[in-house]
Amino acid sequence: MRKRSLLIGTALALVAAAAVYGYGEVERGHWWPRPAVASAQGAPPQAMPVPVTKVVKKTIPIVLDYSARTESIRAITLQAKVSAYVLEQAVPDGSDVKTGDLLYRLDPRDFQVALDQANAQIARDSASLDYQKSNFHRGDELSKSGWLAKDSYDQRASTMRQAEASLLADNASVRAAQLNLDYTSIRAPFPGRLGRNQAPVGTLVSTGGTVLNTLVQLDPIYVAFNPGETDLAAIQKAKQTGPVTVDISVPGETTASHKGELSFVDNTVDRSTGTVTARATIDNKDLSLLPGQYVRVRVHVRDQPDALMVPQIAIGSSQLGKYVMVVGAGETVEQHLVTLGPTSGDLVALLTGVAENDRVIVGNLQKIGPGMPVKALPEQPAAAPPS
């Protein structure tokens, strides 16, 4: 009897608790009481404090973003024009050089000898020409007075002209010997950066056969990318209005580190990829970009004035599409479906769904819903887009 009375008392206590707390819920095998709200049904719900920002108008740049690779405008292999031993590497590997800087020096002795021989030949043929000229002038006087036969006079004239031709050939030989001697000094044809040496001192290099090193130009530098044919019309239209500016950023950077100008768009579209090859010329004064490097390129095609901007964190998503929560009439929440436009930094343009100076809710979004009363906290103006 005592146990039965205890069970009845427990059941009555549970019924009383249910009357006070409501029906309760069972979750994962546990029963949780739900507080009764009957006593509070007549009181209005408390307004949720929410941070807001106004929709503002901004002029934003419209850019096309692509992945790209850097390319050197000029890249050459350094080879010898004459066969000789490498006598000296004038600058170390990886050096930045200017136009005309000495890079390698080959053994010049053989070529100096050839130049001396050519100069000696000029001296000999010059002396011979002087004699032939004197002999011709004497024959000219004798021919006029009848003391020299016409055939002998013509022979003297021919010999003098042959001596003149020999002297011209000697001068050409001197220039050729001087060129070969100059080729023993290998200089930078343009400013750039030297690569890794491939011909140590003492190497016998042959004409056009041995690679000494490589030289690449780093400033300016090309950036090659492949816009799709859907973007081609916007790029071509931008080119018609003036220079198209381009910003370059490397992985890990949040802002553009280099600027340049679109300099080339190919004349055909690749049928297999639907893209066209384009290229920008970029200033690289600090020489931080190297050929073959992966970068991001942003092509500025136009400016969009009076864009309605809100922070990207205010954008929500549902089955109906993108939306923002707005403080509406009576300080209640309104849900506005929106159409997104281009982004600029932390802001995004809204093409439809909002008006200028609407107060967009940017916080506590998970705690509010349409029609709920809210209390707008002091407004935080939207940050200006980066220039």
Do 91 and 166 fall into the same domain?
no
Q: Is residue 133 part of a domain?
A: yes
Do 119 and 171 fall into the same domain?
yes
Do 141 and 209 fall into the same domain?
no
Bond prior to 220 in cis (omega within 30° of 0): yes
Please determine, for residue 239, whether its predicted confidence score (pLDDT) is greater than 90: yes
State the sign of the Cα–Cα–Cα–Cα dihedral 306, 311, 314, 320.
positive
What's the pLDDT at 189? Answer: 96
What's the pLDDT at 161? Answer: 86
Question: How far is it, in rounded angstroms, from Cα 55 to Cα 357?
Answer: 5
Do 266 and 152 fall into the same domain?
no
> Which residue has tokens 């003492």?
202
Question: How far is it, in rounded angstroms, from Cα 337 to Cα 318?
Answer: 10
Higher pLDDT, 281 or 364: 281
What's the pLDDT at 174? Answer: 95
Q: State mean pLDDT over 311-326.
A: 92
Do 325 and 346 fall into the same domain?
yes
Q: How many domains does the chain fold into?
A: 5
Q: For the segment 113-147, what is each residue's pLDDT rounded down to a tens digit? A: 999 999 999 999 888 888 878 877 766 666 666 66
Question: How far is it, in rounded angstroms, from Cα 153 to Cα 143?
Answer: 7
Q: Which range among 98-107, 256-265, 362-371 shows the weakest confidence by mean pLDDT?
A: 362-371
Do 198 and 224 fall into the same domain?
no
Question: How would residue 222 be classed by pLDDT, with cut points 50, 70 and 90?
Answer: very high
Do 19 and 130 fall into the same domain?
no
Do 88 and 209 fall into the same domain?
yes
Do 91 and 129 fall into the same domain?
no
Please determine, for residue 30, whether its predicted confidence score (pLDDT) is greater than 90: no
Question: How far is it, in rounded angstroms, from Cα 314 to Cα 375?
Answer: 17
Question: How would residue 14 be classed by pLDDT, with cut points 50, 70 and 90?
Answer: very low
Q: Is residue 42 part of a domain?
A: no
Give me the CATH number covering residue 335. 2.40.420.20
Q: Is residue 372 part of a domain?
A: yes
Give me the CATH number covering residue 251. 2.40.30.170
Question: If you average pLDDT over each of 45-54, 67-76, 250-259, 354-363, which comes out highest?
Answer: 67-76
Residue ranges of the alpha helices (H) in the chain? 2-21, 109-145, 150-182, 229-241
Instruction: Name the residue type at position 13.
Output: A
Instruction: Name the residue type at position 30.
Output: H
What's the pLDDT at 12? Answer: 44
Q: Is residue 170 part of a domain?
A: yes
Please determine, for residue 45, whether its predicted confidence score (pLDDT) is greater than 80: no
Q: Which domain holds residue 326?
A: 48-58+305-376
**pLDDT > 90: percent of the chain:** 56
Higher pLDDT, 43 or 64: 64
Q: Is residue 387 part of a domain?
A: no
Please determine, for residue 290, whether its predicted confidence score (pLDDT) is greater than 60: yes
Q: What is the DSSP string of 362-376?
A: -S-GGG--TT-BEEE
Q: Can you give the pTM of this predicted structure?
A: 0.68
Do 25 and 89 fall into the same domain?
no
What's the pLDDT at 326? Answer: 92
Q: Is residue 23 part of a domain?
A: yes
Do 227 and 278 fall into the same domain?
yes
Q: What is the DSSP string of 117-184?
A: HHHHHHHHHHHHHHHHHHHHHHHHHHHHHT-S-HHHHHHHHHHHHHHHHHHHHHHHHHHHHHHHHHTT
